[in-house]
Structure 1
């Protein structure tokens, strides 16, 4: 919706300050054009209207922010479970020597693509086809495994389940990266904010600076709430985003696991 990245603080914070300054300027102009006496005549009726509009908008804005925060938390949990499943697949694959090398290669390829390529693409609502293909190849590799020992037969269902979980969590992560707030919702939110702030213009007190300060505070709290909805609504873009540190740690753990297993299998010199 925006032509410049408001979800970066360097743009978002000045935008909030600009909104506050704009509201205070409009308050000053309205009071100067209408006069204090005319505005005072609106106090009683305006107070009733503002209580209705303010209550409705507060409920709407609170629900939107709460929903956006929930989506952000879901994204964090999804990434955590995705890394957990990738590590589980890598660890369990050690019990299947014939397929182990291929599985390790595919898991590493998948994590490399997600961390180094797809993470940046998700900021633009994109996804890596290479990462998807690596996961498809991993699923195919798992499906052709034929357990031989009793240990392998016991572990194979878990290996299959963790692979499917990895697929599901990647799908959920990509879906969440495309979440955001739809344009009609932003229109309603911004329109409601403007109407609520405009209603405050039809009240006045004798001290002009204090009145402007109060109007600025109302605009500030509304602007910050809208900014939270923007930040949480896009979990994988901007300065407030879901961290990929969990997946980086998973990639490191998979590599360390492979190294330990290789060392353990190296024959000792006689």
Structure 2
């Protein structure tokens, strides 16, 4: 009698283990195939949107949203296969969502800010911006953060909530940008000749725009002499090239034109006399 009971329990255990093992193998197969199908669907969607000339920023954001949504559906489907009621699972997700929302309020704020960044579009991928104190080129606008590549080639990740809540400067939005430089003249220098000389030399610098024309005017006076504002205009892609070339011109042009150089010791002398 005892042997019959043992055989009965053994057969039940073997039956349940076999059934559970088969379910585990099927669930693993579902997961592998489901992940492959999700990747395929995401690639097809991205290809379709690229053919329709959808903005890269929107393209990445939609791709992330679709991937996350399909993964959640896949997990719910696998749990349903194991007999877990999806309604119960949904209730657990809702309860967990409340708890996680309270604990991760900052993360959810970043998610909401990301949605506003996509909707309002203050910048897009490839724009050169200053956001949240970081200056660089936008590489990606993600669900929770924005990736910025700085001019010294450092990838910087900034939370979307911080980006959206701070001042945003988009240098790529307008068709051109102004380069602001100054040039100190000596007190006895002919400022009119200097202004004419700098305007002439600015026209020779590559990528300086002809419209609007560069501004060269007296900005202020100090103890050494007049200070000129030298302001050429250029496309954002050529900003640093025009900046450095203009600085070089401001050093070399006065020497070739025999303009008197400012003498810093005049400032010390005037201070001592006072």
Q: Common fold, TM-score beyond 0.5?
A: no
TM-score, scaled relative to structure 1: 0.34
Q: Which one has a larger percent helix, Structure 1 or Structure 2?
A: 1
Larger radius of gyration: 2
Larger RCO, structure (CA 8 Å, separation 6 or more): 1
TM-score, scaled relative to structure 2: 0.33
